[in-house]
Structure 1
Amino acid sequence: MTVPLGIAAVVLQNSLYDVPGGFRAVMFDRFTGVQKDAKPEGTHLLVPWIQRAVLYDCRIKPRNISTTTGSKDLQMVTITLRVLSKPDTEHLSEIFQNLGLDYDERVLPSIGNEVLKAIVAQFDAAELITQREVVSSRIREDLLQRAGEFNIKLEDVSITHLTFGKEFTQAVEAKQIAQQDAERAKFIVEKAEQERQAAVIRAEGEAEAAYTISKALDKAGEAFVALRKIEASKAIVQSLAGNRNVTYIPSSGGNVLLSVPSDSRS
């Protein structure tokens, strides 16, 4: 009784298999071949020694695809793509029959290099920099189409690195230096022009001031000169009045100033 129960337990254990989360199972039958519909997540039954479950990871996988190729103007370009891919769960049986478990390794590097070389050859090196979004969009569209032919879905395609040959890089650096020198020279010229205009404005202001003073003198005439003489005389009187060596002597005609030395002898 124990032996039949043990055999039954082994048969039952071998008749069950689990499909983890994010996976699908393709059933291979020794008599009928690969079944069309893949099994979803969970526990399922199979016929031991006749059927075999092949698990496929259907989660998104990242991959970098890099290639070195020539641009339209014959500049060498190294470009790297980051691709997020997963298998089309509706066609897992076809993927298993045609490509096997390492489907992405067999397909993505080859079609990625093919698309990159074809797209980069349509742009100049400068356009690859200035029109990067257009280049990325073209690569994404073509790669999606090519991957779809192998029942592979691409969730995202983006350019991560874009570098050029030594000669082109040096040419770009030289151009940037020349542009900076041109901007610096332009600034110096503008500064000199502003200083010249400021000098002209100052000269015009000084000329206008001189003209205004000359015009005022012409209008005032002798009265202005007499006023200046009175102011000068007043300044002299105030200076003498503050000197202790000067003495006033009353007279019929007015005060007379007498200068007496401070150290006079008797």
Structure 2
Amino acid sequence: MAGGGQAAVSFLTRMATVAAGIGVAASAASASLYTVDGGERAVIFDRLRGVLPKTEAEGTHFLVPILQKPFIFDIRTRPHSFSSTSGTKDLQMVSLTLRVLSRPDVDRLPDIFNSLGLEYDEKVLPSIGNEVLKAVVAQFNADQLLTERPHVSALVRESLTQRAREFNIVLDDVAITHLAYGPEFAQAVEKKQVAQQEAERSRFLVARADQERRAAIVRAEGESEAARLISEATTIAGNGLIELRRIEAAKEIAGVLARSPNVSYIPAGDNGQMLLGLNAAR
């Protein structure tokens, strides 16, 4: 019985040793494996050689436990927004908000990790974005930022893309999403618009006066020509034209009197003459 007990203890001891060995092996296998998900890349830090120059793509990979450690980078395009207050060429303050879509240069991930670390974009983009915005805005007057906004956006995009390349960052899109001026500039714009409206009104009044002057000249010339023609006709026809004008005037006066309600016609006698009399005021 004693021998059987010792055999059982020995068997259990061996089983425990095997289980421990299996556990250690499983732990070692787990520590030597790592997974890179879709849209990510891994940079390996080796305690003996430093950051390895090769990046690892998606999938499961092996490493040397304790000596090596993986650092995962998200290489998908990510949005970033930041604001800046800058001075224009005519010394007006303007607030701008810039939105960029950025991603790391996959081939230069080891360099990015060495110089900037995993949070490379948060360390670089706000600083170079403010720098570029201030440099570009200073080239334009305040009103040009509105009238030439596509040109301003193109300059910002070009300059910021070049600066980001120096840090191995790729920019897929750069856009100015907000632009606002200070209250002083808004008041200046309002005063300018009022002055322009007053100037337009003054130009209209001058143009109207000029047209009226020209019309008066034309009327005067017409009346002068009519007087000349009448004078010539009088000289040629003698008193005939004057008599004709007198008859026309008499007809016109007779027509006016005929339509007036205050005029009545009274027989004056047998000779057929008519006397004109005005009714007494009512």
TM-score, length-normalised on structure 2? 0.64
* Inter-partner Cα distance in structure 1 for 2:224 and 2:84: 73
* 1:167/1:222 CA distance change after superposition, 3 Å: closer
- Quick one: which of 40, 57, 66 aligns to 1:23? 40
* 1:222/1:153 CA distance change after superposition, 3 Å: same
* 1:9/1:210 CA distance change after superposition, 3 Å: farther
For each residue in 1:63-83, what CA deviation from the matched residue of structure 2 results, as whole angstroms up to 9, or x when unmatched?
Answer: 222112334554322222222
* 1:154/1:230 CA distance change after superposition, 3 Å: closer
Q: Which amino acid aligns with 2:37?
A: V
Offset of residue 87 of structure 1: 0.9
List runs of 5+ in structure 1 lacking aligned partners: 232-256, 260-266
- Contact kept, 8 Å, 1:19 with 1:25, in 2: the verdict is no
Farther off after superposition, 140-149 or 177-186: 140-149
- Quick one: which of 194, 207, 211 aligns to 1:194? 211
* Inter-partner Cα distance in structure 2 for 1:139 and 1:198: 57
Give runs of aligned pairs for residues 1-266 of structure 1, distance below 5 A: 11=29, 15=33, 17-20=35-38, 22-29=39-46, 32-40=49-57, 42-47=58-63, 49=65, 52-125=69-142, 128=145, 132=149, 135-221=152-238
Offset of residue 118 of structure 1: 3.7
* 1:195/1:9 CA distance change after superposition, 3 Å: farther
* 1:198/1:14 CA distance change after superposition, 3 Å: farther
For each residue in 1:129-185, what CA deviation from the matched residue of structure 2 results, as whole angstroms up to 9, or x when unmatched?
Answer: 565555444433432232122111122333333333222321222122112111111
Offset of residue 117 of structure 1: 3.0
Offset of residue 108 of structure 1: 0.6
Offset of residue 91 of structure 1: 0.5
Farther off after superposition, 148-157 or 117-126: 117-126
* Inter-partner Cα distance in structure 2 for 1:230 and 1:195: 36
Farther off after superposition, 181-190 or 163-172: 163-172
- Contact kept, 8 Å, 1:111 with 1:146, in 2: the verdict is yes
TM-score, length-normalised on structure 1? 0.67
* 1:204/1:229 CA distance change after superposition, 3 Å: closer
* Inter-partner Cα distance in structure 2 for 1:170 and 1:229: 70
- Contact kept, 8 Å, 1:28 with 1:35, in 2: the verdict is yes
* Inter-partner Cα distance in structure 1 for 2:177 and 2:161: 18
Q: Which amino acid aligns with 1:19?
A: D
Q: Which amino acid aligns with 1:196?
A: R
Instruction: Tell me the C-alpha RMSD between the 2 structures.
Output: 4.1
- Contact kept, 8 Å, 1:81 with 1:159, in 2: the verdict is yes
- Contact kept, 8 Å, 1:15 with 1:45, in 2: the verdict is yes
Q: Which amino acid aligns with 2:182?
A: G
* 1:199/1:31 CA distance change after superposition, 3 Å: same
- Contact kept, 8 Å, 2:132 with 2:159, in 1: the verdict is yes
* 1:225/1:213 CA distance change after superposition, 3 Å: closer
Q: Which amino acid aligns with 1:17?
A: T
2:76 aligned counterpart, secondary structure = coil
Offset of residue 190 of structure 1: 0.8
Q: Which amino acid aligns with 1:162?
A: L
For these two proteins, the number of residue pairs brought into alignment is: 233
